[in-house]
Structure 1
C-alpha cells in the first residue's frame, strides 16, 4: 500500500512540475465550459434593423416603438427611400429592413387588413429565419394589443418576406466560407507547426541549422509546400462549391483568390509561431486543435452569430484570423461586394500576417 501511495505521489510531482500540462488540465475545462455555455445559443439579440416608414402615422410609429423596445432588435435608423436599403445591407450595417407602406394606417381601419415588407440578410439562412420569426411574433403581439383596444377582431397584418442573397435559404451559402477557414486552419497551421517540431524531435533540425542555409530559407522551405497545397485546395473548394453545392460566386474571382491568399499566409505564420514555442508534436497538435480549431469553429461566426456573444468572447473572436476571413468571403462570394467593402478585413489579415511572421522569425533565430 505504501508503494502504491509513493507511485501516486510521484505521478502528482510529474504533473505539477510540468506547468503547461497542469495549466491545460485545470484551465481547458473552464475555457470549454465558458465557450460552449455562452457561444452555443440559437437566440438572436440586439439585431440591427432599419425602417422605411412610408406611412408616418401613429399606427406605424407604435409598431416601430414596439420593435425597438424588444431585446431582440436594435433600431439603427430610419430610411427615406427604397434605394437606401440595399446600401445598408451591402455595408453590413443591418440584418433586417422593415418597409411600412403608405396606406398602412388607412388600411387598418378601412379594409381591416394590411401588409408590411420584411427584408432580411439570408447569407446566414438560420439567422435570417430566426430574425424573421422574431419580428413576426412582435407584429402579432402588436396586432393583438390593437384588437384588445378597439375590439376589431378582423384586424390582420400580413408580412411579405424577402430574403436577400440566398432566397432558397440554402445552408451551403453559409457553410462554404466557414469550411474554407477550417480547412486552411487545419492544413496550414496544424501541419506546418507539426512538421517543424518533428524536425526538432528527430534531431534533424540541428543538421539544418548548421547547413549553409539561412534561417529564413529553412522557414520558406517548410512553408512553401503547404502554401501551394492550400492554393490547390482553394481551386478544389470553389469548383465543388459552384458545381456540386450550387453556391454561386457573385463577386470578383480574383478578389476572392487574393483574400484566400492573405488568409493562408496568416495561418502559415500562426503555424510557425506555434512551432517556435513548442518542443513536441503532441504539444503542437493540442495547441493547434484545441486552442485554434475549436475557437475557430465556435467563435468565428460560422455556426453562431458573434454579435450575440458576451464581450469577452467577442474580443477573442476578433483576434481569430478566421473571423475576418469568413466575414470577408461571405461579402465577396455571396453578396458580390468589391474591395472597398472588405478593405478593413484585408488590412487586419495583412497586419496579423506581418505581426505573426515577424515574431516567428525572431524566435526561430534565437534558437541558432
Structure 2
C-alpha cells in the first residue's frame, strides 16, 4: 500500500511538471505567432544598442576646425598636420586673415579655430615658449569645452614631442591617465545602461501584458481552475521571457564587443549570472504590475511611463546621480536598473569580481524576493 501511495504521488508530480512544460510551450507559441511582440523582444535591443552606441554619445568626433596660420613655418605645418590627423578634428579652412574666422563661425562651418601668431617658431626657438589662441563656438558650451580640451591636449603633446629633452622653465607637466577607457568612448558608459534599460522594460512590459491579456480575454479564470497550481501557471508565463532575455543579453554583448569595440574585462559567467538575476527582478516586477492592473493599456502605461522615466533618469547612465539633490539620490536607490548598471560597469568594464559587486547583488536579490512575493500574494488574493 505504501509503494502504491508513493507511486501515485510521483505520477501526480510528473503530471504537474508535464502540464507546467505544456504551459511554457503554449506561451512560446503565443510569442512566435505575434510578430510584433517578437520584434519588440529581439529586434528592439539590437536597434537600441546600435543607436546608443553610435548616435547618443558624449564624444565629439570629426569636428571641423579652421587655422589662422600667420607663421607658415615648418613647426606650425607639423602642428596643423597633427591636429588634422586626430579623429576628433577635420581641417575645414586655413587662412592668414583673422577677420575671416567670424564669418565661418556665423555660418556654422566650424566649431573651433586655432590662431598661430607670426613669431611662433622664433619664440619657441629663442624664448622656450610660444603662444597660441583657441577660439571656440560657445553656443553649445558642452561641445566648446570638450573641443577646447581636446585641442589643448594635442598642442601639449606636440610641444613635448618637439623638444622631448629640453627643460622649459616655469612649465608644469600634467600626466593624465584615463583608467578603463583611455579613448573616452561613450559606448563604455552607454552599453551597461542600455542593457539595464532594455532588460527591465522588455521583461517587465511583456510579462505584465501577457498576463493581463489572459484576463481581458477571459482565459485567466479557465487557467486558474485547471489542475495545475496557479502559481506555476504564472511562472510558466515568465519562463519564455527569461529565455528570450538571455538571447538578448548575448546579442547585446556580441554587438558591444564586435561592433562598438567595448571589451569584456571581467568574468563572462558572472556577467550572465548577474544579468539573469536582473531579469528575474524585472519579471517579478512585471508579474506584480499584472496583478495590480486589469487592462493592457494600464499595464503598458505603468511599464513604459512609470518605469521608463525613472530608469533613464535615476539609473546613472545618462545623468550622474551624484549631481542630484539628496532626496532624488535616495529615490534612485529603489530603481533596480541603478544597481544593475553599477554591476555591469564593475564586471564588464573594470574587470571586477563578485567581491566588488556583492552589495549590489544582495540588493537585487532582495528586490527579486520582494516583487515575486508581492506578486504571488496578489494572485492568491484574486483566487479567493
Pairwise same-fold verdict (TM > 0.5): yes
Which residue is equivalent to 1:250? 265
CA distance, structure 2, for counterparts of residue 316 and residue 265 of structure 1: 22
- Quote the offset at 1:302 in angstroms: 1.0
Which residue is equivalent to 2:318? 303
Which residue is equivalent to 1:182? 197
Does the Cα contact within 8 Å between 2:201 and 2:307 map onto a contact in 1? no
CA distance, structure 2, for counterparts of residue 364 and residue 306 of structure 1: 36
Which residue is equivalent to 1:116? none
Query: Who wins on radius of gyration, i.e. which is larger?
Result: 2
CA distance, structure 2, for counterparts of residue 158 and residue 300 of structure 1: 37
Q: Does 1:197 align with 2:204?
A: no
- Quote the offset at 1:295 in angstroms: 0.9
Task: Report 1:34-73 matches (<5 A).
Answer: none
Which residue is equivalent to 1:275? 290
Superposed CA deviations along residues 174-221 of structure 1, whole A, max 9, x for unmatched, are 100011011101210011001111111111111111111211111111
Of residues 360, 364, 369, the one that matches 1:349 is 364
CA distance, structure 2, for counterparts of residue 213 and residue 280 of structure 1: 25
Which residue is equivalent to 1:321? 336
After the TM superposition, list the runs of 4 or more consecutive aligned residues in structure 1 that deviate by more than 4 angstroms. Answer: none
Of residues 328, 334, 348, the one that matches 2:349 is 334
Of residues 241, 251, 254, the one that matches 1:239 is 254
Q: Does 1:261 align with 2:276?
A: yes
- Quote the offset at 1:313 in angstroms: 1.3
Superposed CA deviations along residues 293-318 of structure 1, whole A, max 9, x for unmatched, are 11101110010110110112111211
Q: Does 1:161 align with 2:176?
A: yes
Of residues 294, 300, 320, the one that matches 1:285 is 300
CA distance, structure 2, for counterparts of residue 313 and residue 284 of structure 1: 25
Please give the TM-score of this superposition, normalised by the length of structure 1.
Answer: 0.58
Which residue is equivalent to 1:60? none
Q: Does 1:312 align with 2:322?
A: no
CA distance, structure 1, for counterparts of residue 201 and residue 336 of structure 2: 13
Q: Does 1:228 align with 2:217?
A: no
CA distance, structure 2, for counterparts of residue 166 and residue 271 of structure 1: 35
Of residues 343, 360, 366, the one that matches 2:375 is 360
Superposed CA deviations along residues 206-253 of structure 1, whole A, max 9, x for unmatched, are 111111121111111110000000011111111111111111100011
Task: Report 1:91-170 matches (<5 A).
Answer: 155-170=170-185
Superposed CA deviations along residues 126-173 of structure 1, whole A, max 9, x for unmatched, are 9xx98x97xx9xxxxxxxxxxxxxxxxx74433221100000111111
Please give the TM-score of this superposition, normalised by the length of structure 2.
Answer: 0.56
CA distance, structure 1, for counterparts of residue 307 and residue 171 of structure 2: 50
- Secondary structure class of the residue paired with 2:216: helix
CA distance, structure 1, for counterparts of residue 172 and residue 298 of structure 2: 59
CA distance, structure 2, for counterparts of residue 328 and residue 360 of structure 1: 26
Gaps of at least 5 residues in structure 2 are: 1-57, 59-127, 130-141, 153-168
- Secondary structure class of the residue paired with 2:175: strand
Does the Cα contact within 8 Å between 2:317 and 2:341 map onto a contact in 1? yes
Gaps of at least 5 residues in structure 1 are: 1-41, 43-111, 114-125, 137-153
What is the aligned-residue RMSD (CA, Å)? 2.2
CA distance, structure 2, for counterparts of residue 200 and residue 158 of structure 1: 68
CA distance, structure 2, for counterparts of residue 366 and residue 204 of structure 1: 18
